[in-house]
Amino acid sequence: MEKIVFKLWKKEPDSLEKFKNSLLVDLPVTLASLVNDLQINIADEDVNAAAALVQSSYPKNPNAIIFIKVLSHYHSEQIVSILTSLTSKVEGFIVSESIILNDESKDYLGKRSEGFSQVVFLEKPAHMSAFDWFDHWTHHHTNIAIETQSNFTYVQNTVVRPLQKDSPNFIAVIEECFPSEAMSNPAIFYNAENDPALLSKNTELMMDSCSSFIDFQKIEVIPTSRYRMIEENKI
């Protein structure tokens, strides 16, 4: 089984609502025979409160990110063709998935999951070796991210290779899900509600760890609504 992450940009002048409808209504039916798992994340109006969390070092954030699982990326060309027909631009990345946290009780097949999903794309800083980058991420940062945040889902995706030659040189794609209140309340985001001292401590720990392996000139942070659409070939 292989996992592929796609960044999608809607056609102009299509509305976001029209694009969202095509992804949630039409795409699962079209892909049903091609994929074993489909998750659709959309930067829609339901995450407007998370605007302060958005970061981008690249022109124009994607309108949606989808995560699929297939028996082989051999089928990806057909999937890219389908996605291209719905969008103005597609970027795809084959990834290796590591599930750290996954509260499935907050997911509802075919409907919006609880809270919101923050998707992060990272490039490796030029001064770090790949070994040192992954060593910090897995043996140091992961535990800090769990202990200092209110995330209930945490998925680390190591980029194996891009599907397009001109794509950014991302090393990882991270998905974390948080309570809805964390969109605009840092105390809830950093798991320190009603505790200013803990908020300060958790924020400092997280930022210190991030600055040790993240190039903030090569990062993309996108709050989204998460929809689990296909699981085990079932719509």
Look at the chain and report how many structural domains it folds into: 1
Give the pLDDT score at 235.
Answer: 46
Contact 227, 42 (CB under 8 A): yes
Q: Looking at 109-155, list the stretches that DSSP marks H as alpha helix, in order from N- to C-terminal side.
A: 130-136, 142-148
Which of 173, 169, 170, 200 has its CA nearest to residue 186?
200
pLDDT, position 75: 79
Q: Is the CA virtual torsion 179, 185, 191, 195 positive or negative? A: negative
CATH number of the structural domain spanning residue 28 = 3.30.70.100
Q: What integer pLDDT is reported at residue 208 of this predicted model?
A: 98
- Give 16: exposed, middle or buried? Use CB within 10 Å, 0-12, 13-18, 19+: middle
Chain centroid offset of residue 30 CA: 22
pLDDT at 73: 85
User: What is the C-alpha to C-alpha distance for residues 160 and 177, in angstroms, rounded to an integer?
Assistant: 23
**One pLDDT digit (tens) per residue for the chain, 235 residues:** 999 999 999 999 899 999 999 999 999 999 999 999 999 999 999 999 999 999 999 989 999 999 999 998 887 889 999 999 999 999 999 999 999 999 999 999 999 999 999 999 999 999 999 999 999 999 999 999 999 999 999 999 999 999 999 999 999 999 999 999 999 999 999 999 999 999 999 999 999 999 999 999 999 999 999 999 999 755 4
Q: What pLDDT, on the 0 to 100 scale, is given for residue 232? A: 72
Q: Note the pLDDT of residue 74.
A: 86
Q: Which domain holds residue 38?
A: 2-231
